[in-house]
Amino acid sequence: MICKRLSGAPLALPRAVSIKRAARRAGPGWEASRRRAGRRGQAGPNGSRGCFARPGSCAGFARLLAPARLALSARLRQRPKPKPRLQSGAGISRLLAPARSLAGAAVLACAVSALLLLCAPAGSGAAAFAYGEMPESVRVGLYFDASVTTNKAVDSVSAYSESGLALSMAYGGYQAQASGREQALQRQQAWLQQEREQAQGQAQGQGQPQGQEQIPAYAQEREVHLLDIAFAGKTSALKLSKYSFASQYAAALGGDGASGMTPSGLNELARALGRNGIDSRLAYIDRWVLLAGGFGSQAEAESFIQASLAKDYGAYAPAPASLAGKYISVELDGVFQFVADVSAGSLRLAPIGASAGGASANAAAQSGAAPAAANEAGSAGGSASGSAGSSANASAGGSAAASASDSAGGPRISLNGKPYRGQIELVRVGGSDMTVVNILAMDDYLYGVVPREVQASSAEEALKAQAVAARTYTVNAMRKHASLGFDLCNTQNCQVYSSAGDEHERTTAAVDATSGKIVTWQGSPAQVFYFSSSGGATEDVKNVWGSTSFPYLASVPDEYESGNSLHYSWEAVYTAAEIQSRLLKNGVDIGAVSGVAITGVSAAGRATEVTITGSKGKKVYAREACRYFLEGIYSQLYTITTNGKSYQAIGASGGKAGIAPEGKAAAAGSGLAATLPSGGLMAVSGTGAVEPLPTESGAYRFLGKGWGHSVGMSQEGAKGMAAAGFAYAEILKHYFPGCAVE
C-alpha cells in the first residue's frame, strides 16, 4: 500500500486524538454509597470537592426556586405570578424587586434562606443539576482484555505509595439488573452501538452487527478494610498476582467457630504450626483464616484435621476448605503476605491518608461482618510456607480504604511505575483476567483526559470547551464497559485517559473552572461527541451513525480551523490488488477489483456510500464504514480518482473487450457516435447513451480533509474559535445548536 501525506501537516504536533467510536451504552452512574458535596474548591465532609447549583440560564435552578417563589408571591400579591426566569445574576435582582415592605422583606428573607439551605452542601447528598445528579466517581479500565486496547489484562502488577497502602475487599457493584433509568438511557444510546457495529461489520465484511452485551446495574457496594501496608522506601513494592492452588482442599483455622481472628493473631498461629512442621499461609475469604496443608479431597483434609489439629488447635475451629475460586496473592518485597478470594468481589488499594470512604464501607470495616455476597465455598489456602511480614499492620477495625476523591492533590498510587489518583481495583472476571481499574472522582478523571484530547498550549476557552465536552460524554457513557467491571476504558473507544504524571496545569485549571458544567438538551445531558478536525463543516449524525433523533448533532460550518493540523489534509493511494487483499482479509471476496466509486454524498460533501466493483460482484459501504474499509482513510470527506489503463467496452452481443483510451470518441452499435469524457470513466452503450463503466485501474487516489467522525465539536475548530475571542459556552453552543451549558 502506498500512502502519502500532503505537505502542510506537521508531524511534530501532538496528536489530537479523535473519538473513533460512539458511546454504545450508558448508565446514569449515580452511585449512592459516596456523594460529593460542597461548593467548588471547598472540602466536603469526606474531604472532596463538590458543586452547587448556581444562578444562570440553568432551567433546573429556576425549578429549584419554585417553592420559595410561590410563597413570596402569595404574601406580596395575594395571587399567583408567572415564574421568573433567572438569567445570570440579574435574575436574583428581579426576584428581589417586589419586596418593598417589611413584611415582604421578611418573607423574602425566609425564601432566600430556604434557597440557600437547598443549595448548601449536604453530608451525603450529590450536587444538584438541572437533569439530576452528577456521577461522583468514575471507574476507568487500565488493563483489560478487549479489542479496543493493547493494554491487556495482566497476571500481576506492582504498587507503591509513599504514605502506605490500605487494602480492602469490595463486594456488590455491577451485580443487579439494570434500573428503569439505566434501561431508558440504554435505549437512548442503542442506535449508537448498532450503527457503529454495523459500520464495522460492513468494513470487515461480517455482514451483521455484533450482539449487545447485557449491562448490569451498579448495586450498592460494601467495602471491608483488610490491612495497611507500610513501605520501607521508594524501592519497596507490593506485588499483586493471580493465584491458583495445586491442591483441591486445605484445613482452614479461624473459621465460623472461632472469633476475633486477626491477621496478626493468625500469623502467630502460623509460626506455632511451623514449629510443628505444618506449612500454612494467611488468607482472606469472607473472613481471615489460616490455611494449612494441601489435599486432593475433603476426606483427606478431614483426616489431617483429626490427626494433627483437633487436639492442640481445636479453639481455632479447623475445618476442610475448598480451594475452588479465584485468588490474588499479595507479596511485599518478595515476602508473602496473604491471598484473597475475589470470586465474589474485588481487591482495592488506596493511599493511606486520603479521605475516608463512604459510610457503608466504614461500617463494614469496623464491624468485620462478612459480606452477604461472599461465597462460602471460596476459601483460600495452600501448602506453602511463609507468613505475613511484620510490615503488614493489620486490624479488622482499622482505617477504611481511602475514597476515590483526590482533588486536593493528596497521595498517589504508583502502579507499574505510573502515578494515579484515587484507588486501584483488581478484578478477576471471565474473559479479562486480571482486570485493573482506576476509581477516582469525576474531575480527577478529567485531569487525565483533557491533556490527552487537546494540546495544553491551546487557548484557555478551547480547553474549557474540551473539559465540558469530556465531562458530558462521561456522564452519558457511564457503564459502557460494565460487563468488564468498569465504566469507561482509557482508549479512543471512550476517551483517552492517562496517569497523573501526564496532567498539565493549564488543562487542570480548565477542568476546575468548569467543574460541574455539562452540555444539556431540554434539561437532560446531551449526547456529545468530538473529533480532531472537520475540513470545513461538521457532519449530520444521520450520515455517520444513521440516527435522526438528535437535532443538535447537525452539520454546522467550521470556518475557524487552522488548516495545518495533523491529517487536516491527507492523501492515500491504493492499487486494485491492495484493495482486493484488504477486502479478502475482512472476509469479502468480489474477485479482482475493477472500480471504486463514491455513489452517495451528503450535503456537507462527505461520502455516504462507496461501491467497489469486482469480477465476482460488488461491495457497498455506507455512512461511517466509508472511512473504515481501508486503512489510512481519516474521514468521510474525500474524492477518488484513478489512472485507468483501458476502457471496457460492451459489444452488441454482450461481449466485453478492452479499448485504448487515446481516442476521444466511440461508436454505438446503432452507428451513433458519442464523445467520451477525459479520465476513462464512461463508455457508450448499444443505444448510444454514455454510461459509467468500471475501468481496469492501476491505482486509486483518495484525497481528503479532516480527521475523525466529524459529529459534534471539532477540536481544531474550537481552538480557532477560542483564538478568535469566543467563550467556551459559545463554542459548545455553536457545535451543538439549541443546547445549553449548565
The pLDDT tens digits of the residues spanning 561-595 come to 999 999 999 999 999 998 999 999 989 999 999 89
**Amino acid symbol at 225:** H
Is the peptide bond preceding residue 478 cis, with omega within 30 degrees of 0? Answer: no
Give pLDDT, residue 201.
46
Burial of 662 (0-12, 13-18, 19+ CB in 10 A): exposed
Map residue 257 onto helix, strand or coil. coil
DSSP sequence for 584-627 = HHTT----SEEEEEEEEE-TTS-EEEEEEEETTEEEEEEGGGGG
Identify the residue whose cell numbers are 459529529: 711
**Amino acid symbol at 133:** E
Please tell me the distance from the alpha carbon of residue 317 to that of residue 387, in angstroms, as a whole number: 20
- Sheet bearing 740-741, strands edge to edge: 524-525, 519-521, 740-741
Contact 731, 572 (CB under 8 A): no
H or E, element range at 241: strand 238-243
Please tell me the distance from the alpha carbon of residue 422 to that of residue 408, in angstroms, as a whole number: 11
With b for 16 or more beta-carbon neighbours within 10 A and e for fewer, the 121-147 pattern comes to bbeeebbbbbbbbbbbbbbbbbbbbbe
Contact 434, 440 (CB under 8 A): no
- The residues of the chain scoring below 50 in pLDDT are 1-130, 175-191, 195, 199-216, 356-407, 646-647, 658-665, 667-673, 678-681, 693-696
Please tell me the distance from the alpha carbon of residue 53 to that of residue 70, in angstroms, as a whole number: 19
Please tell me the distance from the alpha carbon of residue 708 to that of residue 8, in angstroms, as a whole number: 18
Residue of 535, 690, 704, 685 whose CA lies nearest to 610: 704
CA angle 596/598/599 to nearest 5° reads: 115
> Dihedral angle at the C-alpha atoms of 197, 203, 207, 208, nearest 10 degrees?
-10
Please tell me the distance from the alpha carbon of residue 380 to that of residue 625, in angstroms, as a whole number: 49
Contact 724, 657 (CB under 8 A): no
Centroid of chain to Cα 403: 20
Map residue 143 onto helix, strand or coil. strand
Helices 442-453 and 460-477, axial angle in degrees (round to 10): 120
Contact 435, 426 (CB under 8 A): yes
Contact 305, 319 (CB under 8 A): yes
The pair phi, psi for residue 360, each rounded to 5°, is: -65, -35
pTM (global) more than 0.85: no
Contact 617, 192 (CB under 8 A): no
Give pLDDT, residue 479.
87
Contact 70, 536 (CB under 8 A): no
Which residues on neighbouring strands pair with residue 291, listed in sequence order?
252, 281
> Dihedral angle at the C-alpha atoms of 202, 205, 209, 210, nearest 10 degrees?
-140
Please tell me the distance from the alpha carbon of residue 116 to that of residue 120, in angstroms, as a whole number: 6
Read off the pLDDT of residues 469-527 as tens digits, 9 standing for 90 and up. Answer: 999 999 999 888 888 889 999 998 899 999 999 999 999 999 999 999 999 999 999 99
Give pLDDT, residue 370.
32
Please tell me the distance from the alpha carbon of residue 290 to that of residue 282, in angstroms, as a whole number: 5
DSSP sequence for 688-713 = S-EEE---EEEEEEEEEE-BS---SE
Within the chain, how many helices (H) and strands (E) appear?
A: 14, 37
Contact 520, 131 (CB under 8 A): yes
**Amino acid symbol at 300:** E
Map residue 157 onto helix, strand or coil. strand
Map residue 531 onto helix, strand or coil. strand
Give pLDDT, residue 642.
87
Is the torsion defined by CA of 688, 694, 699, 702 positive or negative? positive
Burial of 208 (0-12, 13-18, 19+ CB in 10 A): exposed
Using DSSP bridges, classify how beta strands 682-684 and 690-692 pair: parallel, antiparallel or unpaired: antiparallel
